Each structure stands twice: as C-alpha cells, then as structure tokens.
Structure 1
C-alpha cells in the first residue's frame, strides 16, 4: 500500500521520481508491521484509546480519507459505532468522488492495570468483527485490522495457523522504519500521543490567571447569549466571531516559532 500518493514500489523502499532519485512522498507499506509503524505519521500523533479507519483506493493501495474516534467503553455501543464510522468514512469518500476499494482498521488501546496486550486484543476482537461486517455491508472490504497495544500488534485478519504469535509482534523502534525516514526528510513530526495533546489543551486550574479567565468567559457569555438568541443580531455575532478568529489566526501565523510541546502552548 502506498501512503497518500499514486505510485507503488515493489521494493518496499521509497519510490523513485523521474530523475531516479528517491521520492519521499511515495512510500510502499508491505506488511502489518509497516502499517502499524505508519499510523502516527498519517495522523500526526500516536493515537490512544482510538478506533482509526483509513480508506484505501486503487490497485496500488493509495491511502485516502481517515477517521478517528474514541473506543466506546460500553460493549453495547460497539455495533452502532461500527455502523456509523463505516458509513461516515465510505459516504464521505463517495461525496469526494472516490469510493474506497478497501479499508484498514486500527484498534489502539494500552493495557490497564494488570491487563496484558494480548488480553486487550482479545477483548477488542468483537469490535473488530463488527467493523468488518459494517464495512462489508457497504461493499467495502476490510483489508487489514490491527490491534496495537503495549508496544505490540496483532492482526485480526490473518487466518494462517502459526503465522502470528499469540503474544503479538513487537512494533518497530521509533524512527527506524522507511516511513520514519521519509517523514523526517519531509519535515513531518509526530506530536506526541493523543493523551499528551489532550493534556496540553486542558484549561488552567487554580491560581489568579485561571480566575481571570473564568471571569472573562462569564462576562462574554452574559453579553453574547442574549444576542445569539435574538435572531436579528445572530448574524452580526457570527460575523464578529469570524473576524476575531481571522485576527487570531494572523497573529499566530506571524508569531515567531517556539519549541514544541508545553512551552509552545504556554507561549500561545
């Protein structure tokens, strides 16, 4: 399968462009291990507690649209979730004019407490099956379904006896794959895990700074809510909000770059 673009290299290495030089924008993924390694680069972060689906197009397996949702904790929600995410990805691709020829599914969840990665894989197997059925009902097969847990991966689609070890297969060390090399060359970064990103976006708790923010939000809400409920001024509020958002985007675009992670967030 090739990521994002058109070509496929039988060697499993970066494809070459017209000049014969390596083309870092075209990468062939030939195994579940390489698929698992590529996932953070496709999303820009390491997904945690996530159900990820990626559309695949054409004979060469070009990656298209992708979708990520949290894994429902209640098993009773799995069937509806599987149906909804399958329809969302397939119908969304159709609206863009290209129905997927297949889908790759990733179930990413780390062990909790004394639970093992193998136990996570077994517990999530019914969800993987529901996703396969939901995609099949839309005439789009699941080409591969992987569980990523505890630094290992398992394939739900492998039917060969003795092919996949029961304890799972270790994931490649970070930064050692062809995909990692191509991403580095292209300047792409994996910005930590989803949990780390969510932690950086959590509101400040406690202290004078937090009190000031809460007071400002309260005053803004008291002023805006009546205007939003009044149909005559709702469009004015919308226009003002868009203007403010564009101003903020320009300020962020012109600001000098800071180091990544929390320091950059604090500066913003």
Structure 2
C-alpha cells in the first residue's frame, strides 16, 4: 500500500516495528512477512504476506519472494528495503534470509531483516551486540511515542485482518430482513424507471448519489439505501459514483456502511466503491478485502476484478483510474 504525507520519525528498529500496524491498518499476525520499501528515508510502500508453514518445502518461501519482487520493483526508485517477519525463530529466520536473498538478487538494497517475536524485535542483519543484542530489544507497540503520533496523524491499527473485514460485514437478523423487504419494494420502482430509458436512470442515480455523498455521515433509511444500490447496478451510475467518491475517511465509512447493509445480490457495486475509496486513502488491506467481497457475490464483476489485480500488482490508484472505467464508462 502507499501512504499519505503523514510524517513519523523512526529512529530504531523498535520504532519501525511499532509503526508497521499503522501503515498496514492492522496488526500483523504470527506467520506474517512485511516488506517496506523506502525512498530517501521515507516509507513509500508496504506489502504483507503469509509465510508458508514451518515445515513447508523451501521452494514455497522462494515462490513467495518471487511473487513479492516485481510488486516491490514497481515502486522504484527505491533507496532500500526492510523486511520484517513475525513469529518464532524456527519459522521466521530462514524465510527472512531467503526473501532477502531474492530481493537482493533483484537489485534491491536490503537494509535490515527484522524478526518480531512477542514483544521483542531482533535485527538478523546486524551482529553487533552493543546495538543489536541477539535476544532482541523489547518494545511496546501500543505505548510507544510513534503509536501516539500515528494515532494523532489519523492512522488506525485494528487488532487484526478480521477487524478490518468486520467494518463491512453483512448485517444479520431483523436488519437483513428489513433491507431485503426494502429492496423488493424498490425493485418495482426501478423497473418502471428503467422502462423510461437509461437516461432516466442516470438522472435519478446522479441525484441519489449527490444527495447521499453531500452528507456522508447521515445514515440512509432502508428505502433510500435499497434505491441507491439498485441504481448502482447501472454501470454509468456506478462510474459516476467512482468520480464523486473522494479520498477521505467519511466516504470510506459511507461505502462500508452501504456495503454492510446492502441486499446481498446488490453488494458488488458498493463493495467495489468501498475498495476504490479505501485504496485512494492508502488502505490497501481494506481495499483488497472489499474487492474480494464484491467478487464473492459476483465472480464476474469486472471492475472489482480489475481493481483486485491492480492491488495485487502494487499499482497506485492513479494507474487504475487511467486504465479502467474512465476510458470505458459502461464497463460493468
């Protein structure tokens, strides 16, 4: 993921490890590997992956590194790389060295290999005990000055990936039934409008979108939400929503709420819009999970698929905007 211009001064490996959850948006679990790309002492990109199981053959680790290499290389110019593994030495150390060797062979300068085990960070690329003791350095991710500064800068570190997914998890029970009834009621209205022609749907869609996004913190009624999500099934209305959605937190929260409450068959469009909003804000984890949610409901939803491919390739949002619906706004 890429980051906004928040400036946090990192003075040690412990500082860097403390701020990683705020860069990713969640705290990496054991068995994670994080690659940070730096340009002139500034983190410009982060990628996280799952390490293979401890007893996995060596080629699986090399495959993970080979997958990460072109993604990181796309961020050039890069000054150096820091790679961080989470877990016990038996699981992490050999994998970190293998990934570091692949990145180095790809003409990337690996500045540090760090292992986080519990509340200690070990620098595997430094054997000077005075600055990098073999037992590591203790750190407290929640109490560090960097964590306080990151929070003040508006960065959020959720407990784990499950907490990210919970932001747009579908409603259940009575709330789900109510939105289903509202969607059924709105469908007849939508069919009548569609019979009047696509232009009529475009006009209604533009009105509904501008009205909703003008006050994104206002909770839509079930009827308003059902009507909006039906209008978004028209590609031109969805593409207008892409243009109107701005890279700031209220729009991310808005589309997360719409995705969470939407009638299941109508989820793909708002989930994709959530992904786009999150990506533009630098939240790659939320963006990828939202795109996956859209494809879970409709595996053929082309815009979500393109978005997910771009995210996995490490492309910036500007590239995606240039290569997708702007050139062909009718693409579903």
> TM-score, normalised on structure 1?
0.59
Q: Name the Cα RMSD after superposition.
A: 4.2
Q: What is the aligned partner in structure 2 of residue 182 from structure 1?
A: 149
Gap regions ≥5 residues in structure 1:
6-24, 110-119, 217-235, 258-262
Cα distance in 1, alignment partners of residues 123 and 111 from structure 2: 11
Indicate if the aligned counterparts of 2:97 and 2:113 stay in contact, CA closer than 8 A. Answer: no
Matched residue SS, 1:157: coil
Q: What is the aligned partner in structure 1 of residue 281 from structure 2?
A: none
Q: What is the aligned partner in structure 2 of residue 65 from structure 1?
A: 45
Task: Select which of 31, 41, 45 maps to 2:26.
Answer: 45
Indicate if the aligned counterparts of 2:170 and 2:261 stay in contact, CA closer than 8 A. Answer: no
Matched residue SS, 1:53: strand
Q: What is the aligned partner in structure 1 of residue 60 from structure 2?
A: 77
Indicate if the aligned counterparts of 1:54 and 1:67 stay in contact, CA closer than 8 A. Answer: yes
Q: 1:87 to 1:203 in 2, by over 3 A?
A: same
Q: What is the aligned partner in structure 1 of residue 13 from structure 2?
A: 32
The superposition leaves residues 76-131 of structure 1 with CA deviations (integer Å, 9 ceiling, x where unpaired) of 311011122022111x213xxxx21110111124xxxxxxxxxx123211211111
Aligned counterparts, 1:1-268, within 5 A: 25-48=6-29, 49-58=31-40, 61-73=41-53, 74-75=56-57, 76-90=59-73, 92-94=74-76, 99-109=77-87, 120-161=88-129, 163-177=131-145, 179-198=146-165, 238-239=235-236, 242=239, 253=250
Q: 1:254 to 1:126 in 2, by over 3 A?
A: closer
Indicate if the aligned counterparts of 1:121 and 1:154 stay in contact, CA closer than 8 A. Answer: no
Cα distance in 2, alignment partners of residues 176 and 264 from structure 1: 35
Indicate if the aligned counterparts of 1:82 and 1:127 stay in contact, CA closer than 8 A. Answer: no
Q: 1:4 to 1:107 in 2, by over 3 A?
A: farther
Q: 1:200 to 1:188 in 2, by over 3 A?
A: closer
Q: 1:34 to 1:237 in 2, by over 3 A?
A: same
Q: What is the aligned partner in structure 2 of residue 225 from structure 1?
A: none
The superposition leaves residues 133-175 of structure 1 with CA deviations (integer Å, 9 ceiling, x where unpaired) of 1111122111112122322222221122465444433222513
Aligned pairs, how many?
Answer: 205
Q: 1:190 to 1:264 in 2, by over 3 A?
A: farther
Cα distance in 2, alignment partners of residues 209 and 70 from structure 1: 35
Q: 1:62 to 1:245 in 2, by over 3 A?
A: closer
> TM-score, normalised on structure 2?
0.49
Q: 1:184 to 1:253 in 2, by over 3 A?
A: closer
Cα distance in 1, alignment partners of residues 259 and 93 from structure 2: 38
Question: 1:180, CA displacement in angstroms?
Answer: 2.3
